[in-house]
Chain A
Amino acid sequence: DAKTTQPTSMDCAEGRAANLPCNHSTISGNEYVYWYRQIHSQGPQYIIHGLKNNETNEMASLIITEDRKSSTLILPHATLRDTAVYYCIVRVATSGTYKYIFGTGTRLKVLA
């Protein structure tokens, strides 16, 4: 079962910041939080990941709370092309490797 819960859907105005929340209250100390997005008819696309510290790359920022029980993905200036389903994933270590267990994600709609 997925270790994360996300809102089913969100809207965001074009040009504004999109803040996507995720709860992962059962996360373990060495488990990373990953974010992916999936645009219709494409495979999931990696966005960003983090363990404890906040992270930023060219696509987004990831804010992880100090207790690591929740995080927020921030798209600083949302465009219409950011309309997609966003998945927050806790990567689980097992059998010497890792697995990514997806939930149902947040469907983000960016409005013109």
Chain B
Amino acid sequence: EAGVVQSPRYKIIEKKQPVAFWCNPISGHNTLYWYRQNLGQGPELLIRYENEEAVDDSQLPKDRFSAERLKGVDSTLKIQPAELGDSAVYLCASSSSGVSAEAFFGQGTRLTVV
């Protein structure tokens, strides 16, 4: 069974440009997470979806970040415009809704803003 798939793996853009990341969760997983990980830090939750509904986006910088999960499957995270401080690894994870379920993470997208 395929795991969580993210693309692209790497992205280099100039500041003020837009960028988008894509995530395909494990089939059947209702919950989807986007995290940001800065160098030397643990992942920080940006937004959490239950099916197509964003149930927790309190940590998402809404002035420049947006996300969507159409049809409750794939998800995209967008930054517009990107700033130098957005350079980080963006991780997607998914889990089923079982009380003892675990979350599975993708390989992440490493964003460099120059």
Chain A residues close to B by CB (< 8 Å): 2, 32, 34, 36, 41-46, 49, 51, 87, 94-105
* Closest chain B CB from A6 CB (angstroms): 10
Residues of B within 8 A of A45 (CB): 105
For the A-B complex, the count of residue pairs with Cβ-Cβ distances under 8 Å equals: 60
Chain A, Cβ-Cβ closest to B92: A43
Interface string of B11-52 (1 = CB under 8 A from A): 000000000000000000011010100000111110010100
* Closest chain A CB from B74 CB (angstroms): 17
Q: Give the distance in Å from the alpha carbon of A102 to the alpha carbon of B44 in the complex.
A: 7
From B41, B43, B50, give the contact of A44 (CB < 8 A).
B43
* Closest chain B CB from A3 CB (angstroms): 13
Chain B residues close to A by CB (< 8 Å): 4, 30-31, 33, 35, 41-45, 48, 50, 55-56, 91, 93, 95, 97, 100-108, 110
Q: A87-B42, A102-B43 are in contact. Are A97 and B48 (CB under 8 A)?
A: yes
Whether B107 lies near A95 (C-beta < 8 A) is no
Whether B48 lies near A32 (C-beta < 8 A) is no
Whether B43 lies near A98 (C-beta < 8 A) is no
